[in-house]
Structure formats: structure tokens, C-alpha cells
Amino acid sequence: MGTLRVTGKGQLKIRPDTTCIKISLKGMEEEYSEILHRSSMDTAKLKELLSAYGFERADLKTLYFDVDTEYQRHKEGDEYKSRFVGYTYEHDLKIEFDSDHERLGKILYGLAHCSLQPEFRISYTIKDQEAAKNELLGKAVKDAKEKALILSKSAGVSLKEIESIDYSWGEVKFETRLFEQSKILPEATLNNSYDIDIEPDDMDVSDTVTVVWKIA
């Protein structure tokens, strides 16, 4: 008894329903204790800012945090040397919320005009990613079975029980990136907000599953 290995592909077009704003805070101080205090204070200011738009403090999630040393190169005679100038920090965070153009416009205005001068990027995603992944897997297995039936019929063999199912468990990206930074934001309206009129395109996502059948 032999085997037949077939890879099936599941595909979906999904309309985004969730807005994600990724925010990056950066700063530099001469002392290590000062940069830690600065990072803590900046994060607190950002949370306070976002609370005005209906967010809880716990809604702001950390993606990355790092403190590093900063050096500057300078020339002494005929040699270039490095001079220690202080410590820097980088704190990357994100907030997500049900897509709402009016709310997004107000948040972006607040970020663009606050003293923190954060870098930020807007993208769209979906809330129930687990359900979408499960649907993708179901479609991939169905596709594998349909292909296996065609191949086995063409080869004059019969499909028996499944010997194994191999799924890579790779990460499926449910994200549509839009724009970065305030330099490309539209003109502000009189109510301290940006007029955001964006309709993200549906996301095309896919995943694969390899199924091995016994054949006779």
C-alpha cells in the first residue's frame, strides 16, 4: 500500500474591521536613571492623552522596549574617536479599536500636536483572527481532498484513511498598512480633528495544509 501527499490551499478575502495605531516614543538623557524616568513619564503622558479618546490605560500595549548607549564620532588630529553622549530609549506601543473615522481623526490630531512628538503608523486588521484562521484551515483541507480525489482517480487508485496532516503553524498576517507620520495627514478641521476618509481594501489571506492519504 502506497501513499499520496497533497498540499491544499485555503484563501479568504476579509474586510478589515479594526484600526491599529502603532506608536513609537524615543528620547535621550545623560544618565541611565534619567532615561528610565523619562521613558516612564513619556508613557504616562501618552496614556493620559489617549484616555481623552475613550481608552483605558491597559489598552496601550507594549510591542518593544530598549535602552541603549549613544556615541558621537569626532576627529582628534588624524584619528576619529567615539564620545559617549548619553542613553537613548525606544518604546514601541499599539492601540486597537473598532474602525471609526471620526475617532481616528481625533486621535491622530492629538498625537500630531502633543509634546511627545511620537512616530506612528496606521494599519487595519480584523478582530476575530482565530475564526478566520480556522476557516482558512477548513478550506485548505477541503482543497487538498478535492485534489487528492482527482489525482487518485486519474492514477487508477483508491484513497484510504488519512496517514498524516502537516500544518506549518506559520503566522498569517491579517494587516493592511496605510500611512506613517503626521507629515502626510490632511488639514485639521475646526474641532481639533483630521477629516479621515479611508476605506481599506479587503485583505487577501491564505494558508496551506499537507495531507497524506494511504492508497491502494
Q: Cell numbers at residue 177, please?
A: 498598512
Q: Could you give the CA distance from residue 199 to residue 120 in angstroms, rounded to a whole number?
A: 19
Question: Residue 77 has what DSSP assignment?
Answer: T
What are the residue ranges spanned by the domains of the chain?
14-129+170-207
**149: Cα separation from own chain's centroid:** 38
Tens digits of residue pLDDT in 27-85:
999 999 999 999 999 999 999 999 999 999 999 999 999 999 999 887 777 788 888 99
Q: Could you give the CA distance from residue 120 to residue 67 in angstroms, rounded to a whole number?
A: 19
Nearest to 138 by CA among 39, 211, 31: 211
Let me know if domain 14-129+170-207 sits in CATH 3.40.50.261. no
Tens digits of residue pLDDT in 7-17:
999 999 999 99
Q: For residues 1-33, b (16+ Cβ closer than 10 Å) or e, as one string?
A: eeebebebebebebebebbbbbbbbebebeeee
Dihedral pair phi/psi, residue 202, rounded to 5°: -60, 145
Other C-beta atoms closer than 10 Å to the C-beta of 117 total: 12
Tens digits of residue pLDDT in 77-132:
778 888 899 999 999 999 999 999 889 989 999 998 899 989 999 999 999 988 99
Share of the chain above pLDDT 70, in %: 93
